[in-house]
Copies of this chain bind each other. A is one copy, B any other.
């Protein structure tokens, strides 16, 4: 039974949401009876953005609710999709009449529940669209998905669609910007140690004391290769190798590079990985336009990381640089 800094496994999500809202009381509020964080000034006169999913991936997604990013984040139980009811409440709260874009990570439960909520909202006359993020190059189908999983690349969808919406674009244009990110973003992750869901007796998977797993998902879903622990540089080479062989890069291309900690990884290790990622990209003639090294999409206390590349064009660069009050994405 792993030790955790919690009160009761049954209450972790609601207590966490209360703690998040307390940290930014002038900007965020929690919906009564729902684990939904919304901007305090919502609805605004713009297309609204709603994302969410199971909890345990903090700061995703409530940490991205703010100016130039999300208008609401819906938190399910740990590693469990939020209910259509909660998503529907979020949509109704943030809709300012210009429509709502749902940003969904590709997991079967999430896609189903966000689509149900979309149907409920459309039935009430709200204009809603959705995009499904599937940036994980590791596996085609997984324990919880048909097709590729949605992981850390989702944060770039939040940022860029959020900037487009803030600039006054219509729903169809915001959706198109989100889809451009989705077609340009790729991620692969790995783990040294598993995590444990607060209510569970056992970790979500097991690794021997000399083993690691490549291509792992953010819920500890199996990856592509269980292997002896490699050096950080070899691991980075593997992750970036998979990404670079999945999407066409040309000499001189510019990217956003995200080195994402999975929750239990010290920053020291992320920066060691970041150093190698720059070497690999320089060798390939790819220019890092913007570099993000921190925890963006975690898996409780799992030790490991993911690397994400977003291929940029002029429009994406401008939207990536657009103002936001989310410090992580400045």
Which residues in A have some Cβ–Cβ distance to B below 8 Å?
1, 3-8, 12, 15-20, 22-24, 55-56, 58-59, 63, 192-193, 195, 209-210, 212, 229, 231-233, 235, 263-276, 278, 288, 291, 293, 295, 298, 300-301, 303-305, 327-328, 330
Contacts and interface: CB of A to CB of B under 8 A. Distances in A.
B5 A305 contact: yes
B273 A209 contact: no
Contact of A278 (B22, B192, B266, B295): B22
7 contacts: A3-B212, A5-B270, A5-B305, A8-B231, A22-B288, A23-B274, A327-B330
Number of chain copies forming the complex: 2
A16 B271 contact: yes
Contacts of A16: 268, 271-272, 275
Given A5-B232, A6-B232, A19 B301 contact: no
Given A5-B273, A22-B288, A56-B266, 4 more contacts: A4-B269, A7-B233, A22-B278, A23-B271
Contact of A58 (B19, B59, B268): B268
Nearest to A190: B5
Contact of A268 (B23, B265, B300): B300
A303 B3 contact: yes
Contacts of A269: 4-6
A5 B272 contact: yes
Contact of A266 (B18, B293, B300): B300
Interface of A is mostly: mixed
Contacts of A273: 5, 19
Nearest to A11: B272
A291 B235 contact: no
A172 to B, nearest CB: 32
Contacts of A195: 266
A231 B17 CA distance: 18
Contacts of A193: 3
Nearest to A235: B5
A249 B243 CA distance: 54
Contacts of A59: 267
A267 B291 contact: no
A33 to B, nearest CB: 17
A19 B231 contact: no
Contact of A192 (B3, B232, B304): B3
A316 to B, nearest CB: 19
B272 A12 contact: yes
Contacts of A6: 231-232, 269, 272
Given A266-B58, A266-B263, A271 B5 contact: no
Contacts of A17: 271
B265 A301 contact: yes
Given A5-B269, A58-B268, A305-B5, A274 B192 contact: no
Nearest to A299: B266
A264 B266 contact: yes
Contacts of A298: 266-267
